[in-house]
Amino acid sequence: GVVSVEANLKILWEVIGEIEFGRAGYAYLVDGEGNLIAHRDPSLVLKRTNLSGLHQIQEFLQNPAGPDPSPGGEDEGILGKRVLSTFAPVPGLGWAVILEEPVNMALAEVRKVEGYALLLLAVGMALGASIIVWVSNRITRPILQLHRGAEVIGQGNLSHRVEIRTGDEIEELAREFNKMAGELQTSYATLEHKVEQRTGELLALYDVTATVNQSLELDTVLQEVIKKINKIFHFDATRIFLFNPEMDELHLRASFETRPEFSAKATLFQRGQGIVGRVAETRESMIFEDTSTDPRYQALSHTKVTQEAGLSFFAVFPIRAKGRSVGTVVLVGQKPRKLTPEEVRLLTSMGDQIGVAVENTTLFEETVARAKELSALYDVAATLNQSLEPNLVLKEVLQKILEVTRFDAARIYLLDPEGKELRLKAYEGISPEFASQTERDSVGVGVNGHVVTTGKPAIFADIQTDPQYAELASGRRAKKAGFHAYISIPLKAKEKIIGVMNFLSHKAHDFSAKDMALFTSMANQIGVALENSALFEEVRTRSQQFSALNTVAAAVNQSLEIDVILKETLEKVVEILGFDAGWLHIVDPSGKGLYLRAQKGISHELSQALAHRGMGEGISGKVAETGEPLVFEDIQTDPRYFQITKKQVALLAGFRAEGCFPIRSKEKLVGSLTLASCNPYHFSPDELQLIHSIASEIGVGVENARLFEETVKSAQELSVLYTVTSTVNQSLDLDRVLQEVIEKITETFRFDTTRIYLLDTRTDELHIRASYPDNREDMNRVRLFRRGEGIVGKVAETGEPMIFEDLRSDPRYRESSSTKNTQRTGNNFLAVFPIMAKLRSVGTIACNGRTPRRLTASEIQLITSMADHIGVAIENASLFYETKQKSVELEKTNIELLEANRAKADFLAAMSHELRTPLNVIIGNADLIKDGSFGDTNAKQKSAVEKILHYSETLLKLINDVLTLTKVEAKKVSLHLSAFRVDEIITHAQSYVEQLNRNDRLKVLWEVEPNLRPMTTDALKLEEILQNLIGNAFKFTPKGSIEVRVRDLKGKGRIEFSVADTGMGIAASDLDRIFEQFHQLKEAHTGSYSGVGLGLSIVKRYLEMMRGQIRVESQPGKGSTFTFDLPYSIQTLAD
């Protein structure tokens, strides 16, 4: 624990602040760390000024218990000025009293005397000296006496006083010193008393706290606490009052009296009643030192029992817990008494500790009660979860509830499906006779009916005396049965009231909020269980429905033949639902009526009567017209039946119940399903929903069958279109293609005559090119039409089809036809479609039929597609003819080009051979002249000879390149394979570079990977490739460097070579063309660079022969890098 002591040092400030001596002398007090404790300037103390840096403080800190070693010394003072100072330690506290006086003030008299002495120096030095000594002794002796007094006080003798009789300020200082010592002695004694008193209070409070925490038995704790209080304060009586759970009454819970006559006369107070009730209400303590003289007691006391018992002292302290009042502590004394502030504070704290005990006990009791409730709820939930059959578990649940709640009887009522009546479902604790009397309650009538209507529980502590029960209860049977307490709670599932639960007791009972919470939780558990049971029943019903739907769906999906589907499905529906008969109507294609497509359990006569129904006619027609079902549970008594149907065929056939339901597919009505029974029949909501679902399944089946029929038809049409497409693509013989296509069109669409006309763009006339059947006698009349003439000509001109379903009644035919040949030959149907190719009309198809007909949209689309394919065939035939003509011309031109190329190659080979012979002679003689074989030459002659050699060698290389390229193109160059080391090739290349770079114009770098694998390829061609690339690098690099790199691409089985320079570079537009023959960069035509653009072309051809690849990277002005790679061995690739 912690003991906290507070001491008021303000008195020290006042004592120290009043000390004055000399002209400006003052005192202050410091602690053992040099902190300022008291000074006449309180602001310095409040700033917690530390003076350990001052010399006199340092001397004190070095020897806190010893005297000042240099009293009256001159040092820096607390205010930063030079002072005369001394100190005296305060024994027992480690403090010191410091006395200071500014030097200029303390020695003012001395300096004044010294001034006079100087003025009177002429009078006599001796007199002045004696005066100075006398004055000095007069000042210092009292100060030394004060110092000795401070030492005595510092040694612990606070009663010591100094005696100084000087008659001046020093004597005044001595008096102040003595006064300060007296006050210090008093303060020290008071401080010791307060510490001792506070320690006693804390021990007492600790004792009470320990008692509070020893037990959770509240009465035991309270009895022990008031004994402790009486022992500490010696009251004649101590009582503790606590609030009841409703917080409206204070009950005596513990008391202690020194004498029996002091026992409590009043044990109950209302909240706010009397002094006890008022303190509990206001949470403010009230103390009456003498009740006989205190007018407040007379005004506030409710009973005056304290005064009447001869007791004078009366005090009431509130008991508080978490900021609220939970009771009071009443303290009584026979004699008047005044409580000290410390006693009031201690009693208030003890009251708070009692509040903690009350709160802990309340929490413990609530926890125990809650645990019991949760256990009861668990038992109820476990019982409910044993089964999904409510009738099996509700009685057992009621038994569990009665065990927990200590009621005598319980009942559970459930609402009927219509929600109009409550029916007794389970009961416990009542007789069967009483149960039969209360078996049903109407909603809105009686207590239970009122609970269902309002949704709120009805609570009666005693129905024998409660007027509200008498007003609500209709039969008052519970009252007559002798019950007193009665509660009715609504049962809810998903916020919907499904019934009520009753609890009854033969004793009156007050229901607390906790009781209601427990009952509500139990009711909720039962509501959930009942809802689960209802869901289980619904799931079981749904499962049966799904099984029926699955059976129907299986029947629907067994076939795509609509009649089979309807027959099988109807038989399954009648069998599953238990009806005697059924029939199905389907809407006819016109949408104006229904026809019977399936029946079960009806006679042939009834089948004939139901064969066809117009929209709105009879039951089926009415359902098809409105889209709403019609249900007759007994057609003999239902007037609607007689209003809707006039023939009354179902009634005449002996049926009593009939239900007709619409069949839909994709929101479109496709028919109706009728089910009939020979006896009256009630269609439940679940059955109606199931029948609607079955009708929807039938609709899906009907739709699937129709889709299948349409799919089959579309497949047949696509097959025809595919055949036409295949015919068009298999041959470029236009007449053969047109004849096969026209026969297929006539056969597919069952036309009587079909003809194809093609447009001759030169004459702008349409000529017949195919007809089926051919050799008709009217062929001559319709063999030729001009564009825009007649129906055929107009269709060719407009590019739009013209269809005449019945020539006899269509006025357009008479207006458009120029020959009237179709009608004249006995045909009544005519359709003409344009043949299009590249968005232009190239002909028409004319289709005739003897009977009127309407082409469907899909038929029109198919014929249009066939016409388009005919257009493609016409276009293909035209393109084939043109291509054939072009091919003949190109073949002739190609032969001529080959002959010219061969002549060019022969010429170049012959010319190169003829040029090399005299050129070699020129080079040889020039070399002899240069070497001096024909005598000495001067400088000009040597320069001329060197130019002859240079340009002759250049010309020879050009001739060799031309000859090489000619051989390559003529495929007269072959590879000479050999195995060699790459180092050998690099050595030869280095020798070549030394000749090129004789004057060290460029820096040449070699980066060759060591231990390269041997290669098997054409070594001479590899050398020539490197020399070409290195030569180009030297040619186009005026200054800078060239780098040759060789590395092994191990993962690819190839060796990579690269030649990089820092020369002029190549523009991006030229990168794709530099390997073409005779292609040169623009700079090569300036005269600075020799060559005709064959080197890179030869390199590319060689690499292709050697299975190599080359690529180039370049930036103008920065240089170029040529990289190529070759396989380790060409033989390995060939294998």
CATH code for position 567: 3.30.450.40
- Judge whether 913 lies within some domain: no
Show the domain range for 494. 385-539
For residue 1128, what pLDDT band results from cuts at 50, 70 and 90? very high
Q: How far is residue 256's CA from residue 224's CA, in Å, rounded to a whole number? A: 10
> Of 821, 855, 889, which residue sits at a domain end?
855
Residue 590 has pLDDT above 70, yes or no: no
| pLDDT computed for residue 274 by the predictor | 87
CA dist., res. 857 & res. 711, Å (int)? 15
Residue 957 lies in a domain: no
Task: Please tell me the distance from the alpha carbon of residue 766 to that of residue 763, in angstroms, as a whole number.
Answer: 9
pLDDT of residue 136 exceeding 80, the answer is no
Higher pLDDT among residues 113 and 1034, named by residue: 1034
User: What mean pLDDT is predicted for residues 513-540?
Assistant: 74
Cβ–Cβ under 8 Å, residues 582 and 599? yes
**Tens-digit pLDDT profile for residues 239-267:** 899 998 778 888 888 888 877 766 777 78
Rounded to whole angstroms, how far apart are CA atoms 843 and 832?
A: 10
Quote the DSSP letter at residue 1083: G
Would 864 be classed as within a structural domain? no
Higher pLDDT, 846 or 734: 846
What is the Cα–Cα distance from 775 to 773, expressed in whole angstroms? 7
pLDDT at 668 over 80: yes
For the chain, the farthest-separated pair of C-alpha atoms sits apart, in whole angstroms, at 185
pLDDT (0 to 100) of residue 382: 61
Higher pLDDT pick, 1035 / 10 = 1035
Please give the structure tokens belonging to residue 666. 């994709």
Question: What average pLDDT does this structure show over 49-75?
Answer: 82
The dihedral sign for the CA sequence 488, 493, 499, 502? negative
Question: Tokens standing for 1070?
Answer: 């030229």
Tell me the pLDDT band of 969, cut-offs 50, 70 and 90.
Answer: low
Least confident of 61-75, 700-714, 1039-1053: 700-714
Per-residue pLDDT band for 1026 (boundaries 50, 70, 90) equals very high
pLDDT (0 to 100) of residue 77: 86
Torsion of the alpha carbons at 166, 170, 173 and 179, rounded to the nearest 10: -20
| Same domain (yes/no): 275, 133 | no
E-strand ranges in 334-450 read 409-415, 421-428, 440-442
Q: What is residue 35's DSSP assignment?
A: B
DSSP secondary structure of 175-216:
HHHHHHHHHHHHHHHHHHHHHHHHHHHHHHHHHHHHHHTT-S
What is the rounded average pLDDT of the residues 1002-1028?
A: 92
Radius of gyration of the chain from Cα atoms? Answer: 65
32 contacts 51 by C-beta, under 8 angstroms: no
- The yes-or-no verdict on residue 1021 having pLDDT over 80 is yes
Query: Residue 582 has what pLDDT?
Result: 92
Q: Are 310 and 336 in contact (CB under 8 A)?
A: no
Q: What is the CATH number of the domain that holds 1007?
A: 3.30.565.10
Structure tokens at 227: 């004994």
- Reported as a single tens digit per residue, the pLDDT across 530-559 is 777 667 666 666 665 566 666 666 666 666
Helix residue ranges, H only, 645-733: 649-652, 685-730
Q: Which residues face 847 on adjacent strands?
A: 754, 831
pLDDT at 5: 47
Task: Over range 275-297, report the average pLDDT.
Answer: 89
Domain boundary among 685, 712, 739: 712
Question: Do residues 527 and 571 share a domain?
Answer: no
Q: Tell me, what amino acid is at 774?
A: D
Q: For 148-183, how does the pLDDT look when each residue is reduced to its tens digit (9 = 90+)?
A: 777 777 776 777 777 777 777 777 777 777 877 777
pLDDT at 991 over 70: yes
453-464 b/e with 16+ CB inside 10 Å = b? eeeebbbbbbbe
Within this chain, do residues 399 and 437 fall inside the same structural domain, yes or no?
A: yes
Predicted pLDDT at 1124: 95
Tokens 């529980």 belong to 457
SS3 readout for 833-860: EEEEECCEEEEEEEEEECCCCCCCHHHH
Percentage of the residues of the chain whose pLDDT score is greater than 90: 14
* Mean pLDDT across 795-820: 85
What confidence score (pLDDT) does residue 778 get?
67
Instruction: Summarize the confidence of residues 897-907 as an average pLDDT.
Output: 69
The answer to whether residues 978 and 1105 belong to one domain is yes
Summarised one tens digit per residue, pLDDT across range 305-341 is: 777 777 889 999 999 988 888 899 999 888 898 888 8
808-831 per-residue burial string, b: 16 or more CB within 10 A, e: under 16: eebeebeebbeeebbbebebbbbb
> 640 and 517 in one domain?
no
CATH of residue 141's domain is 3.30.450.20
Residue 1064 and residue 1099 in one domain: yes
Domain annotation covers residue 953: no
Give a yes or no: residue 873 inside a domain. Answer: no
Q: Strands 286-288 and 313-321, how do they pair? A: antiparallel
Is pLDDT larger for residue 1122 or for residue 104? 1122
Q: pLDDT class for 1056, splitting at 50, 70, 90?
A: very high
Task: Single out the residue in 367, 399, 424 at which a domain terminates.
Answer: 367
615 and 512 both lie in a single domain: no
The residue ranking higher by pLDDT, 403 or 458, is 458
Q: Report, as an integer, the average pLDDT of 899-920.
A: 68
Question: Do 405 and 451 lie in a common domain?
Answer: yes
- Residue predicted with more confidence, 382 or 260: 260
pLDDT at 4 over 60: no
pLDDT exceeds 90 at position 980: yes
- Specify if 877 maps to a domain: no
pLDDT of residue 1085: 44
Please state the domain count of the chain.
6
- Name the average pLDDT for the chain: 80
Say whether both 394 and 517 belong to one domain: yes
- pLDDT above 60: residue 1090: no
Ranges 22-31, 97-106, 893-902: which has the least confidence: 893-902
Instruction: Give me the DSSP letters along 997-1061.
Output: TTT--SEEEEEE-SSPPPEEE-HHHHHHHHHHHHHHHHHT-SSSEEEEEEEEETTTTEEEEEEEE
Query: What is the average pLDDT across 1122-1130?
Result: 93
Q: Which stretch of 39-48, 71-80, 124-133 has the lowest confidence by average pLDDT? A: 124-133
Same domain for 238 and 167? no
The pair phi, psi for residue 967, each rounded to 5°, is -65, -40
Output the pLDDT for position 1091.
57
Q: How many Å apart are CA 915 and CA 868, to the nearest integer?
A: 67
Does 40 have pLDDT greater than 90?
no
The partner residues of 251 in beta bridges, in order of sequence, read: 242, 268
Q: What is the DSSP letter of 828?
A: -
Give residue 1086's pLDDT band: very low, low, confident or very high (50, 70, 90).
very low
| pLDDT exceeds 80 at position 673 | yes
pLDDT at 728 (0 to 100) = 66
The rounded distance, in Å, linking the Cα atoms of 39 and 20 is 12
Whether residues 183 and 255 share a domain: the answer is no
- 552 assigned to some structural domain: no
- pLDDT in the model for residue 1087: 42
Q: Are residues 501 and 625 in the same domain?
A: no
Q: Which two tokens stand for residue 1112?
A: 């180039």
Q: Domain for residue 889, yes or no? A: no
